[in-house]
Chains A and B, each alone.
Chain A
């Protein structure tokens, strides 16, 4: 993986609330993630992991509280987190290359075509660069989504349940890729169920339940218990 263009960045959640009508998806969540950490968010379905990641990605705004990125160069494209979710967030009708060039251009990435090609090679989709994303398998869709998230060389990568729907080969590849990204200096935050090759990369784990932080390896909880409780 190519090295980062910018200094490492952390994430700071201060008393984040997210309400939908009367329901709290997140309650007074405060979390400080240091630059370069690889954090796993664990918890049952509905515990607030996806909401927290969407807030971190800035797609969703919190009802209350503050989100900041210590170390980031304000508001430039590279200061924005990369975000991978359940869908590819690219256009099915366009080719892999067209999609990446589009997102590169929008984020003012220098030499968008060259950067797109570079990423396609890194995720192993160069041969399929002229195929419409519509024709991709689940594993390939995962890879184009990652390429899109990394196109602007973000210093924070957010990943919502990366292993869903992947076969063991896919999971190995993903673990290898995420490891490389993290070693290159990118802060990684991902939500997971249960233990796997991917959770093994974690330097820290945080457990959410009913929208609140209930355990954190930073304050002494064990990685294993956080991950198994979340999976069960």
Chain B
């Protein structure tokens, strides 16, 4: 189907562009690291209370990092007006969004993978045993963040003060993801781990709702 082949082609372009410079990945990873370190200065790491807060802090760090990461998403298409040439070339404008949000999800997952060992060390939490389910939670949560982030970045790229506007629009929208991901991650990494399937299902529902909304309305974001 044309949508999938266009998406695959564009995804290739997104990945190739990023892996050539790796600027987004490195800056985002370092940012999450800085936030985690700052959190441990603000709290008292190593104590029992810190262990309770840690999963929430991890997701907070991911959210803040994503609001930086998505800045360039549509801005980089403005430099040479490549957004117009893409719109002319693709058969379905949703392909542009789909490619970007898949790429953004992958980038987020990569930075999370890089950060997880540091997180485990700083807060003395074993993640290894729960890795499969944890990966699922990270996947669903990051996917939700990427969908909303890609949509909002398309909006903020067309407004003034976009660096401030993007987090302002994005973060309230993502409160459900923060609440549920942090809770599910918390109970997963607890001394007596519990898998909250209801929460995981909720994240899936969040992703589906926003993906569908983006599919229906995506073309209007790019109109001129």
Residues in A lying within 8 Å of B, measured CB to CB: 54, 57-61, 77, 80, 83, 85, 87-94, 98, 102-103, 105-108, 148, 152
Tell me the complex Cα distance, A102–B16, Å.
Answer: 11
- Interface of B (DSSP majority class): helix
Q: Which residues of chain A have C-beta atoms less than 8 A from B84's C-beta?
A: 57, 59, 83, 85, 89
A89 with B9: CB separation less than 8 A: no
Q: Which chain A residue shows the least CB distance to B85?
A: A89
A102 with B13: CB separation less than 8 A: yes
Tell me the complex Cα distance, A148–B10, Å.
Answer: 16
- Interface of A (DSSP majority class): loop
| Interchain CB contact (< 8 A) of A108 among B2, B81, B82, B85 | B2
Instruction: Say yes or no: is B21 at the interface (Cβ < 8 Å to chain A).
Output: yes
The 5 tightest CB contacts between A and B, nearest first, are: A89-B85, A106-B89, A87-B80, A60-B224, A87-B81
Instruction: Say yes or no: is B17 at the interface (Cβ < 8 Å to chain A).
Output: yes
Instruction: Say yes or no: is B216 at the interface (Cβ < 8 Å to chain A).
Output: no
Min CB distance A11 to B, Å, is 15
What are 15 sample pairs from A and B whose C-beta atoms fall under 8 A apart?
A: A60-B224, A61-B224, A80-B88, A85-B81, A87-B79, A89-B80, A89-B81, A89-B82, A91-B13, A91-B17, A91-B80, A94-B13, A102-B9, A105-B9, A108-B2
| Interchain CB contact (< 8 A) of A94 among B16, B79, B90, B223 | B16
| Interchain CB contact (< 8 A) of A57 among B13, B88, B90, B223 | B88
| Interchain CB contact (< 8 A) of B16 among A57, A77, A98 | A98
| Known A89-B80, A91-B13, A91-B17; 16 more pairs at CB < 8 Å | A54-B224, A57-B88, A59-B87, A59-B224, A77-B89, A85-B81, A87-B79, A89-B81, A89-B84, A89-B85, A90-B82, A102-B13, A103-B85, A106-B6, A106-B10, A107-B89
Q: Which chain A residue shows the least CB distance to B89?
A: A106
Min CB distance A173 to B, Å, is 21
CB-CB contacts below 8 Å: B115-144 with A: none
Q: Which chain A residue shows the least CB distance to B8?
A: A105
Tell me the complex Cα distance, A108–B10, Å.
Answer: 13
Q: Which chain A residue shows the least CB distance to B18?
A: A93
B17 with A93: CB separation less than 8 A: yes
Tell me the complex Cα distance, A102–B223, Å.
Answer: 22
- What 1/0 flags go to B86-119 for Cβ under 8 Å of A? 1111100000000000000000000000000000
Min CB distance B12 to A, Å, is 8
Q: A58-B88, A59-B84, A103-B85 are in contact. Are A92 and B79 (CB under 8 A)?
A: yes
- What 1/0 flags go to B62-74 for Cβ under 8 Å of A? 0000000000000
Tell me the complex Cα distance, A88–B88, Å.
Answer: 14
Most chain-A Cβ atoms within 10 A of its Cβ — which of B9, B82, B85, B86?
Answer: B85
Instruction: Say yes or no: is B20 at the interface (Cβ < 8 Å to chain A).
Output: yes
Q: Which chain B residue shows the least CB distance to A85?
A: B81
CB-CB contacts below 8 Å: B35-88 with A: 79-82, 84-88
Tell me the complex Cα distance, A83–B86, Å.
Answer: 12
Q: Which residues of chain B have C-beta atoms less than 8 A from A60's C-beta?
A: 224
Q: Which residues of chain A have C-beta atoms less than 8 A from B9's C-beta?
A: 102, 105-106
B10 with A93: CB separation less than 8 A: no
Q: Which residues of chain A have C-beta atoms less than 8 A from B90's C-beta?
A: 106
Tell me the complex Cα distance, A80–B87, Å.
Answer: 11
Q: A59-B224, A61-B223, A91-B13 are in contact. Are A148 and B85 (CB under 8 A)?
A: yes
Tell me the complex Cα distance, A74–B82, Å.
Answer: 24
Q: Which residues of chain B have C-beta atoms less than 8 A from A85's C-beta?
A: 81, 84
Tell me the complex Cα distance, A61–B223, Å.
Answer: 8
A93 with B21: CB separation less than 8 A: yes
Min CB distance B16 to A, Å, is 7
Min CB distance B157 to A, Å, is 16
Min CB distance B84 to A, Å, is 5
Q: Which chain A residue shows the least CB distance to B95?
A: A106
